[in-house]
């Protein structure tokens, strides 16, 4: 039991540290940054409770690369739209039906979706995520994110069961 708690905390610590480094441009921030990361990781464990879905460590770099690249593209997209004389914005409310299971995968989805180009998670009703999009085509970005999260958590893989001997 104690070993499982240590693994869960280590997992939360890695995730929070990666998010911290992304948000601060790679700066840890000294004692304040370390304390913030540790407290946030502990808070995540208390808030999320027992995680029922395991993500794949070897898939973490690919997910982080996707996350960072889409965040960068999102920033460029917003800058372009803000500076464009014609302001090419066609706002739309999108009701997106989630296929992810309840728990950590959905939490990750809701947390990350607002960093995609032209999207903002506005609300979550049962299995439906309400998104404000800069264009109606923002739904394709959301679908792509959901596919990445499904792959990250290996939700489509069949786990073989052991036969009793």
Model confidence over 11-47: pLDDT tens digits?
A: 888 888 888 888 888 888 888 988 988 998 888 777 7
Query: What pLDDT is recorded for position 129?
Result: 94
Query: What pLDDT is recorded for position 52?
Result: 60
DSSP state of 157: S
Return the C-alpha torsion angle 74, 45, 17, 102, nearest 10.
Answer: -30
Query: What pLDDT is recorded for position 49?
Result: 61
Q: Of 80, 81, 77, give the one whose Cα is nearest residue 69.
A: 77
Query: What pLDDT is recorded for position 157?
Result: 66
* DSSP character string of 66-125: HHHHHHHHHHHHHHHHHH-TT-----EEEEEE--SPTTHHHHHHHHHHTTSTTEEEEEEE
pLDDT-based confidence at residue 87 (cuts at 50, 70, 90): confident
Most confident of 51-55, 73-77, 109-113, 115-119: 109-113
Pair 38, 14: CB distance under 8 Å = no
C-alpha 48/C-alpha 104 separation (Å) is: 7
Task: Quick: pLDDT tens for 128-141.
Answer: 999 998 887 788 88
C-alpha 165/C-alpha 162 separation (Å) is: 9
Residues 49-67: what's their mean pLDDT?
Answer: 78
- Predicted TM-score (pTM) of the model is 0.65
What are the residue boundaries of the structural domains of the chain, listed by start?
A: 1-51, 60-157
């Amino acid at each position: 039991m104690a070993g499982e708690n240590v693994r869960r905390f280590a997992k939360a610590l890695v995730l929070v540290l990666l998010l911290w480094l992304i948000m601060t441009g790679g700066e840890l921030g000294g004692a304040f940054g370390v304390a913030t990361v540790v407290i946030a990781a502990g808070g995540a464990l208390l808030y999320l409770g027992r995680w029922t879905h395991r993500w794949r460590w070897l898939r973490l770099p690919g997910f982080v690369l996707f996350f960072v690249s889409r965040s960068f593209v999102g920033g460029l997209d917003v800058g372009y739209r803000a500076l464009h004389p014609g302001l090419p914005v066609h706002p739309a409310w999108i009701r997106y039906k989630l296929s992810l299971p309840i728990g950590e995968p959905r939490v990750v989805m809701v947390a990350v979706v607002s960093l995609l180009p032209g999207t903002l998670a506005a609300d979550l009703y049962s299995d439906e995520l309400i998104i404000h999009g800069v264009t109606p085509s923002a739904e394709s970005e959301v679908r792509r994110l959901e596919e990445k999260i499904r792959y990250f958590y290996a939700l489509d893989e069949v786990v073989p069961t052991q036969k009793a001997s």
